[in-house]
């Protein structure tokens, strides 16, 4: 639909027929929504301007010969105004089946953690104030004791995220020295976190040992020299080498480090504190096991398998943690009080593993049985069949979910999905319309079918999906 440059109807005359913003705001349906939904003027004006600007550009590019009549655009303008009022960062319904979806904010928090955030945020707190002595306290102390008793470590520290934790550790322990890492562990996590790049930034020199699929203890030993500062093990959390494969265990590396008087650190990525979910997921190393193997330092995320807020947790020997705590970079990466409140409450739930599995959403979702998921999917499918136009076919089938967020990459999480296909809407269009709902519903496509995976739905969200399905009937 590109415009012929010699067309008798130049863009200018088409542009003149575009309605003005005030005409859109005076349209009856817009007026009614403004009154009934209390939609603010600024949001309606901005939404109208956005939609008209888009049409103006299409006309200028020759992609449009007629402006849309107001009656045709007012639905979209109202939807945009509603979304503008809600702000940019909004809750969405995660129907992807990926539990720790980094793009969707990773771990949802437990009710107890949410409550703690609200209480601490509302007023003042003893963030850095020791109530017994009446003197200044340390913010980390609110979680250090808990982290030590849950992991078995002597000492612990918390920063903004695990990438920061790894950076801080390498900077303090290995700047100007050599760090020995297996070639099979030189990973990229995504979001441009790459072990070799982080090492280079910290001023440590990377010494790669072994091969991609096999690294032996003797490879590490041969690499040790007078400039070696650290032996580093990285949990390859988003891929796995299968087949002819050999890696050196943390315990073996610790024994080697002891012999040469070198510290050993492990970047664990996902911080698994208790076993949860299907038995096939049991392979994920637990923090307690890594600490027990004798490493000087282990780092992991607060918002992966741990199921808490975004944070980077460092646990290990006191001498090492003291050095990290004193370093000025620690202040730069300081965790804020809201995160700390949520983290402490999440860790408190771990004092009883049974409670953790029931109350922490990530663990609870992982632990839901397939029959329970199937019952939920069948109920949702029934409601969707009633709501969707006849062009839709709705069925239920077994699907494979993932933990995501760089944890347990190869271990599928068996799940159940509601499958949608329509003779009227292509799968991409269905996905798009669900994204435009309030709240947006995020699904995935598998072989041209739209899948709504019920494992990652929170309580009460089935109703939101059914409501969102309304958009297939109204426009
Ligand atoms: C996820 C991950 C990181 C980064 O952690 P963030 O909390 O996302 O900053 C670092 N190392 C490993 C092995 C990881 O899996």
Over its C-alpha atoms, the chain yields an Rg (Å, rounded) of: 27
Give pLDDT, residue 4. 52
Sign of CA dihedral 370, 372, 375, 377: negative
SS3 content of the chain, % helix, strand, coil (to 5): 45, 15, 35
Percent of the chain clearing pLDDT 90 (strictly above): 79
DSSP secondary structure letters along 416-440: EEEEEEESSS-HHHHHHHHHTSSS-
Q: Which atom of ligand 1 is nearest to the CA of 303?
A: 7
- Whole-angstrom distance, CA of residue 70 vs CA of residue 397: 42
Q: Which atom of ligand 1 is nearest to the CA of 163?
A: 9
- Residue list, ligand 1 pocket, CB within 6 Å: 161-163, 166, 189, 193, 234-235, 237, 267, 269-270, 301, 312, 406
Backbone dihedral region for residue 49 (phi beyond 0: left; psi -120 to 50: alpha; all else: beta): alpha
Distance 97 CA to ligand 1 centre (A): 20
CA of residue 384 relative to chain centroid, distance: 28
Instruction: Tell me the pLDDT tens digit for each residue of 429-445.
Output: 999 999 988 899 999 99
Segment 184-195 mean pLDDT: 83
| CATH numbers and ranges of domains, the chain | 11-86 (no CATH), 93-105+366-473 (3.90.1150.180), 111-359 (3.40.640.10)
Which residues lie closer than 8 Å to 402 by C-beta, 6 or more apart? Answer: 97, 98, 99, 409, 412, 413
267: cis peptide before it, omega within 30°?
Answer: no
Q: Kindly tell me if the per-residue pLDDT of 115 is higher than 70.
A: yes
Q: Kindly tell me if the per-residue pLDDT of 3 is higher than 80.
A: no
What's the pTM value of the predicted model, to 2 decimals? 0.89
Atom 13 in ligand 1: which residue has the minimum CA distance? 269
- Whole-angstrom distance, CA of residue 281 vs CA of residue 275: 8
205 membership: H or E segment, kind and range? strand 205-209
Q: Kindly tell me if the per-residue pLDDT of 311 is higher than 60.
A: yes
Give pLDDT, residue 285. 87
- Please classify residue 76 by burial: count the beta carbons closer than 10 Å to its beta carbon, then call 0-12 exposed, 13-18 middle and 19+ buried: middle
Instruction: Tell me the pLDDT tens digit for each residue of 317-338.
Output: 999 999 999 999 999 999 999 9
């Amino acid at each position: 639909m590109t415009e012929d440059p010699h067309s008798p109807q130049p863009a200018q005359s088409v542009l003149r027929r575009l309605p003005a913003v005030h005409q859109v705001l005076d349209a009856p349906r817009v007026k009614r929504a403004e009154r009934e939904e209390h939609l603010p003027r600024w949001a309606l004006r901005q939404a109208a301007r956005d939609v008209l600007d888009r049409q103006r550009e299409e006309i200028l590019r020759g992609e449009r010969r007629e402006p849309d009549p107001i009656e045709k655009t007012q639905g979209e303008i109202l939807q945009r105004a509603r979304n503008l009022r809600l702000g940019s960062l909004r809750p969405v319904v995660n129907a992807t089946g990926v539990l720790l979806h980094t793009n969707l904010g990773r771990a949802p928090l437990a009710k107890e953690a949410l409550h703690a955030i609200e209480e601490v945020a509302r007023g003042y707190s003893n963030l850095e104030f020791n109530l017994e002595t009446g003197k200044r306290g340390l913010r980390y102390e609110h979680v250090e004791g808990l982290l030590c008793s849950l992991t078995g470590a002597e000492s612990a520290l918390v920063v903004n995220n695990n990438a920061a934790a790894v950076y801080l550790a390498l900077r303090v322990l290995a700047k100007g020295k050599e760090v020995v890492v297996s070639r099979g562990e030189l990973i990229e996590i995504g979001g441009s976190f790459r072990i070799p790049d982080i090492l280079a930034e910290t001023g440590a020199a990377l010494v790669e040992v072994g091969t991609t699929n096999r690294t032996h203890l003797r490879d590490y030993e041969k690499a040790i020299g007078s400039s070696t500062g650290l032996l580093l093990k990285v949990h390859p959390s988003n891929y796995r080498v299968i087949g002819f494969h050999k890696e050196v265990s943390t315990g073996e590396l610790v024994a080697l480090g002891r012999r040469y008087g070198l510290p050993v650190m492990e970047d664990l990525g996902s911080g698994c504190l208790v076993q949860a979910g299907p038995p096939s997921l049991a392979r994920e190393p637990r923090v307690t096991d890594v600490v027990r193997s004798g490493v000087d330092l282990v780092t992991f995320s607060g918002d992966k398998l741990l199921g808490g807020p975004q944070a980077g947790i460092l646990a290990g020997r006191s001498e090492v943690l003291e050095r990290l705590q004193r370093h000025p970079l620690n202040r730069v990466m300081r965790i804020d009080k809201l995160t700390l409140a949520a983290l402490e409450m999440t860790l408190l739930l771990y004092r009883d593993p049974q409670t953790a599995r029931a109350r922490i959403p990530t663990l609870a979702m992982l632990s839901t049985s397939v029959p329970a998921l199937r019952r939920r999917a069948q109920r949702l499918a029934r409601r969707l069949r009633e709501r969707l136009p006849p062009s839709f076919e709705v069925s239920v089938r077994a699907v494979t979910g993932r933990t995501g967020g760089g944890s347990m990459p190869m271990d599928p999480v068996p799940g159940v999905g509601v499958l949608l296909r329509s003779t009227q809407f292509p799968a991409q269009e269905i996905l798009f319309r669900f994204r435009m709902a309030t709240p947006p519903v995020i699904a995935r496509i598998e072989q041209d079918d739209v899948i709504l995976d019920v494992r990652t739905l929170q309580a009460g969200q089935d109703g939101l999906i059914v409501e969102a399905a309304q958009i297939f009937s109204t426009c």
